[in-house]
A and B are shown apart, each in its own frame.
Chain A
């Protein structure tokens, strides 16, 4: 669509945006294609002799205490982290946009009820809520984890979209569409929704960075993505015991987290700049 294309063009032109896009693309490509060329991230070829090897020959980023290849695990972790983040954010943006659209457009008591629910949900810290659920749910499947992240992240987006809809509702072109006999759902999805694309895109990009951190945090606490599936947070957790013997097995996943979140936020800032040049 025109507006989104325009925003992406702006992001590519800004220096931060381009740097972010380059790093992010590299990470995505590595996550997508890397595992084809790297050893099995779960394989423990030689626990006795091949554990805690320093970066170098054969293992570019060394091996961990179970003799697994750190590079292969970091790359697999990218695949998991990004997949989790993108799906969860897509889910939360969809939910948030739907609730915000309905609340803003329908108004009245529908709006009051929806927004009070959102207020209530926003009052509960997301991390605590997630911790509670995942701590109770012993064998949490990956899909359920993603759904949990998605369904707890839409509250802010719904307020954002509602505010946009309230503003857009008074735009003459919305009135013009109604005056020309456009159906209600048409006004909602065809006229209002695309015009909220800008702020929603900002929220989505920054949301991705947020979810990556959240997932890493939960995995580090041992309640997110469960071993042996490699996740960056989980790798740092496992490598704690050997922090001084083999620092590379925790430093590299940590670097991966920092680099990814940094890249996502660079892109997010550039998107924000494109959407709202005054608040650059």
Chain B
């Protein structure tokens, strides 16, 4: 439709978090030379109360992107100085250490992928939730404890009075993930980053955890950034979806639009590789190959070596993110022809 690079969506009043041109480089041992760019020019925004799903295969830069929002990118990763991450208009990337600490957990909290190793094994569940509360507020330990109990109840842990004094190893994976969610919610954040919150769990437990997240979102008006490789859990949960491939967002749309009209060949590939229980039975079509290493992003469109609709120009010219519909953008030369 249009050939001009997309204007960044005009920030409106209810945009909570705005990420512009986020780039993360891996530097070599001397710390001067960038040897890889695992995240490259990622922009998105998150509105109050909405769920944005960041979808992509392992190694596409989803987790790094989310860690950058808290400035927790591990070495040798370095956030580009030109990147902008603003929360309520305040640039997170230039905050001093103490303001940053005060923001972590309090404004943006995070639930990690692996509940088995994300809780400290030497402290009880209660102690860890209480710590999360008291990292940001001066409250008496008895008040903090009763809030921890209420949180455990809220995330659906039966018999919170008994569970609060248990150690992580005494709990199942689902329980631990509930405790992680309770910890994340303890300081009453505005934004919750959920990084593959259910990947390490059994399918039945996955559904319960997602249900807890949904319920808490409607109660607290949380904005959720859901990081996942599973489009199956995105449908019916996320308001918008951004599909990432090789460090870039390749398609972004309202969830219904994305499922109704997946446009980027990568998105189409992801959808075709999900088994369906309804509709005509068809062969699952996995996408051939794997995400390339960040040190060796292909030239041109980074998806071209795996793309079934590859054209000549895809090999040399990197496509821009183009508007292809209302609130629907994709990074593909096919957009020009449509």
**A179 and B72 contacting across the interface, CB-CB below 8 Å:** yes
**Given known A-B contacts A2-B167, A173-B119, A180 and B105 have beta carbons under 8 A apart:** yes
Assess the A179–B122 pair: CB atoms within 8 A: no
Closest 6 CB pairs of A and B: A181-B105, A180-B105, A181-B104, A172-B118, A179-B110, A173-B120
**Can you pick out 20 interface pairs between chain A and chain B where the beta carbons lie within 8 Å of each other?**
A3-B121, A171-B117, A172-B112, A173-B118, A175-B112, A176-B110, A176-B112, A176-B118, A176-B180, A178-B72, A178-B104, A179-B112, A180-B131, A180-B132, A180-B183, A180-B186, A181-B103, A181-B132, A181-B187, A182-B105
Q: Could you tell me if A195 and B120 are in contact, using CB atoms closer than 8 angstroms? A: yes
Asked if A183 is at the interface of the complex by the 8 Å CB criterion, the answer is: yes
What distance in Å separates the Cβ of A110 from its nearest Cβ neighbour in chain B?
15
Measured in the bound complex, the distance between the Cα atoms of B123 and A209 in whole Å is 31
Count residues of chain B with CB under 8 A from any CB of chain A.
Answer: 31
CB contacts (< 8 Å) of B118 on chain A: these are: 172-173, 175-176
> B120-135 toward A: CB 8 Å interface, digit per residue (1/0)?
1111000000011001
Nearest CB in chain B to that of A194: its residue: B122
Interface residues of B in 172-224 (CB under 8 A from A): 180, 183-184, 186-187
Q: Is the CB of B104 within 8 A of A172?
A: no
B53-85 contact mask (Cβ, 8 Å, vs A): 1 or 0: 000000000000000001010100000000000
Chain A interface residues (CB < 8 Å from chain B): 1-3, 170-173, 175-183, 186, 190-191, 194-195, 197
With A171-B117, A172-B114, A180-B183 as given contacts, are A3 and B122 in contact (CB-CB < 8 Å)? yes
Q: In the complex, which residue of chain A has the Cβ closest to the Cβ of B133?
A: A180
Contact A177 B109 (CB under 8 A): no
How far apart are A273's CB and chain B's nearest CB, in angstroms? 19
Q: Is the CB of B102 within 8 A of A181?
A: yes
- Give Cα A182 to B101, complex, Å: 7
Which residues of B sit under 8 angstroms from A176, Cβ to Cβ?
110, 112, 118-119, 180, 183
State how many angstroms separate the Cβ of B68 from the closest Cβ of chain A. Answer: 12
Interface of A is mostly: helix
Is B248 an interface position by the 8 A CB rule?
no
CB-nearest residue of chain B relative to A183?
Answer: B101
Q: Which of chain A's residues has its CB closest to B167's CB?
A: A2
CA A3 – CA B124 in complex, angstroms?
A: 12
Cβ contact within 8 Å between B135 and A179: no
Tell whether, in the assembled complex, residue A195 and residue B70 are in contact, meaning their CB atoms are under 8 Å apart.
Answer: no
Decide yes or no whether B147 CB sits under 8 A from chain A.
no
Q: What's the least CB distance linking B196 to chain A, in Å?
A: 12
Contact residues in A for B70 (Cβ distance below 8 Å): 179
Would you call B120 and A182 a contact (CB within 8 A)? no
Expressed in whole angstroms, the minimum distance between the Cβ of B184 and any Cβ of chain A is 7
Residue of B nearest to A191 (CB): B120
A173-B102 Cα distance, complex, nearest whole Å: 19
A181 touches B122 (CB 8 A): no
Which residue in chain A gives the minimum CB-CB distance to B135? A181
A180 touches B135 (CB 8 A): yes
Q: Which one, B114, B122, B184, contacts A180 given CB within 8 A?
A: B184
The answer, yes or no, to whether B20 is at the interface (CB within 8 Å) is no
Residue among B106, B120, B123 making CB contact with A181, cutoff 8 Å: B106
Give the chain B neighbours of A177 by CB distance below 8 A: 120, 131
List the B side residues contacting A1 at CB < 8 Å.
Answer: 122
